[in-house]
Structure 1
Amino acid sequence: MENSSRPSLLGLGLSIAVGLIASSAIVSYTLDRMASNKQSITVKGLAEKSVRADQARWRIVVHGHAPVLADAFAALRANQPKLRSFFVEQGFKPEQVTPGRETYQPVHKVDQDGRELREIESYTASQELLLTSSDVAAVDKAAGRIVSLEESGVPISVQNPEYLVSGLEQVKMSLIASATRNARERASEFAKTGDAQVGAMKSANQGAFYILPAQGGGSDDEYGGAYDKTTIDKLARVVVTVEYGISQ
């Protein structure tokens, strides 16, 4: 009985060994497939487009100065029509000018060392006037002529006009589509060097949205990136980061 059981045990051992080898091969093949499926490439896509401002905002503050507060407001109200007349002379309509609140600020005396004292010397009354127009060229031209009003003695504080682009969301969406196509092209070029093929998109992230001066220059932060408001001609830019699956 002992001799007859040995071949059976040997056969069982061989069967188990073959099964383990086969199962390990299946596991190895599955892991290799999983690793292959996880292969990917991440690239950035860029798209740019020239845009032109079609809206303008221009803020100018007119003042009135006097030792007495009531007289300061009287001087302010005497100067307000002069600024409004300037806008009309430049071809703008009265309804394009929005007045802000009238405010005032005390001006304190200073000592011989330039230190401010508690004693009030005079008052400055002020009001901001906001001009809005879709004629950006006219606003730009008027900004170059405002110095004539200052030379005439009207006390004003002048800010640079802001030149804005309407329909920014449409501009952004078209650039995202173009940047995504650019990312696909870049991924394909990279894949060629490794004899690979680009598969489906796995993930995509939009970077910052930029509105930049067409000729370069300063900008301020807005819209998740940069938004230049100092120039009429601008450059819109979007960068996207896209991950694609790749296969050999």
Structure 2
Amino acid sequence: MTKNNAVSAFILGGLLCLGMVLLGNTIGDKLIKMKSMERTVTVKGLAEKEVRANIAIWPIRFTEVDNDLDSLYVNVQTKTDKVAAFLKQQGFDESEITISLPAIDDRLAQGYSDPNVKYRYSARVSLSLYTDKIDLLLSARTKMLSLAKEGIAISDQDYNSKAQFLFTKLNDVKPEMIQSATQNARQVAEKFAKDSDSKLGKIKKAAQGQFSINDRDSNTSYIKKVRIVSTLTYYLND
């Protein structure tokens, strides 16, 4: 090997070593940065909102008894018409009222006779009100006693006769509630970062929970509580 070749080989070897050192430092810096990026905090953000129901379904039921079937049918029709007229007087449209066929039982046809049963025939009558006039329905329920004067005993205490209130406008409140849940989660994450002498970074991962809609309480079922919980994971920086 000539002197010039030896010098060239020495210089080339030196450059390769220097390159390996620089490459190693660069990879090391990146690994350190990647490791620091692995520091995260996962928090949950809650958003709740009270809303009024916008749809109501009110089943109205009463029972009529008689020993004569023809008389029973006449009385059922008369009292059904009175209930429907009452609802219209309160301000509801005919299209909001549905009348079902009465369910009639012949107690003698059941194969046994109870001496305590005074009437042979019993008719269970059902009407249903489907409306978006929530305040009107609440007002009408307080006036149902007037039907008792017509000999119509409306029961609203059993489960099947209770008015059902629905909130169907979830899409109207979704954006606002998702934003509120995200802000709540960030506040929790910032508190954690501050307490751990860190700085809050960008969001690594976010998961939105399901919306739930429940009655605020048993006495005001027309007021609903909408709830959403979002889970977010943030990076932590020094």
TM over 0.5: yes
- Equivalent residue runs for 1:229-240 within 5 Å: 230-240=220-230
| Aligned residue in 1 for 2:81 | 81
| Aligned residue in 2 for 1:38 | 38
Amino acid at match of 2:128: L
- Equivalent residue runs for 1:51-130 within 5 Å: 51-67=51-67, 72-107=72-107, 118-119=111-112, 122-130=120-128
Amino acid at match of 2:197: D
Q: Secondary structure at the match of 1:172?
A: helix
The answer as to whether partners of 1:197 and 1:246 remain within 8 angstroms in 2 is yes
Q: Secondary structure at the match of 1:180?
A: helix
Q: C-alpha displacement at 1:134, in angstroms?
A: 2.4
The answer as to whether partners of 1:203 and 1:243 remain within 8 angstroms in 2 is yes
The answer as to whether partners of 1:88 and 1:94 remain within 8 angstroms in 2 is yes
Cα distance in 2, alignment partners of residues 245 and 70 from structure 1: 79
- Equivalent residue runs for 1:123-162 within 5 Å: 123-158=121-156, 159-162=161-164
Comparing 60-69 and 170-179, the one that deviates more: 60-69
Cα distance in 2, alignment partners of residues 73 and 203 from structure 1: 66
Cα distance in 2, alignment partners of residues 118 and 32 from structure 1: 87
Q: C-alpha displacement at 1:49, in angstroms?
A: 2.6
Q: C-alpha displacement at 1:79, in angstroms?
A: 1.9
Q: C-alpha displacement at 1:217, in angstroms?
A: 1.7
1:207-235 deviations in Å (ceiling 9; x for gaps) = 3534355xx524xxxxxxxxxx9433444
Q: C-alpha displacement at 1:174, in angstroms?
A: 2.4
Count of residue correspondences: 209
1:188-225 deviations in Å (ceiling 9; x for gaps) = 12111112222232333333534355xx524xxxxxxx
| Aligned residue in 2 for 1:222 | none
Unaligned 5+ runs, structure 1: 1-23, 110-116, 219-228
Cα distance in 2, alignment partners of residues 230 and 106 from structure 1: 39
Unaligned 5+ runs, structure 2: 1-23
The answer as to whether partners of 1:101 and 1:128 remain within 8 angstroms in 2 is yes
Q: Equivalent pairs: percent with the same residue?
A: 31
The answer as to whether partners of 1:140 and 1:161 remain within 8 angstroms in 2 is no
Cα distance in 2, alignment partners of residues 67 and 26 from structure 1: 99
The TM-score with structure 2 as length reference comes to 0.71
Q: Normalized per residue, which structure has more strand?
A: 1
| Aligned residue in 1 for 2:181 | 179
